[in-house]
């Protein structure tokens, strides 16, 4: 999954310098179940450990930090948002 997320990030913005770019992995998330964001957080940790991007973080549709507030999550001059959705939502 890590390789897929990285490939997608590079496809989205092939001419952007990763060291000047924040990568946000966006998942559904829910405050009803603490486990809902575990996989997305794990992938962000794996990518962060590579040291390729200025910052790597998560944002969610239904839990904090919200994707709608992406602009306060980083001060990097470039931001790439990669979706991380495993299945259709139930609503």
Residue 37 lies in a domain: yes
- 34-90, pLDDT tens digit by residue? 777 899 999 999 999 999 999 999 999 999 999 999 999 999 999 999 999 865 555
Residue 88 lies in a domain: no
Residue 89 lies in a domain: no
Residue among 30, 28, 3, 8 at smallest CA distance from 81: 8
Q: Tell me the residue range of the domain where 27 lies.
A: 2-83
Residue 91 lies in a domain: no
How many domains, the chain?
1
**Against a cut of 0.85, is the pTM above it?**
yes
Task: Kindly provide the residue ranges of all beta strands, DSSP E only, lying in the chain, ordered along the sequence.
Answer: 21-27, 55-60, 78-83
Is the distance from CB of 3 to CB of 35 less than 8 angstroms? no
CATH number at residue 74: 3.40.50.1400
């Amino acid at each position: 999954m890590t390789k897929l997320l990285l490939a997608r990030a590079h496809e989205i913005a092939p001419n952007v310098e990763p060291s000047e770019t924040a990568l946000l992995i966006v998942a559904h998330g829910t405050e009803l179940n603490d486990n809902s964001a575990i996989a997305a957080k794990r992938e962000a940790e794996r990518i962060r450990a590579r040291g390729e991007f200025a910052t790597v973080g998560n944002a969610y549709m239904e839990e904090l930090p919200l994707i709608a507030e992406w602009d306060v999550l980083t001060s990097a001059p470039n931001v790439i948002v990669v979706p991380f959705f495993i299945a259709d939502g139930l609503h």
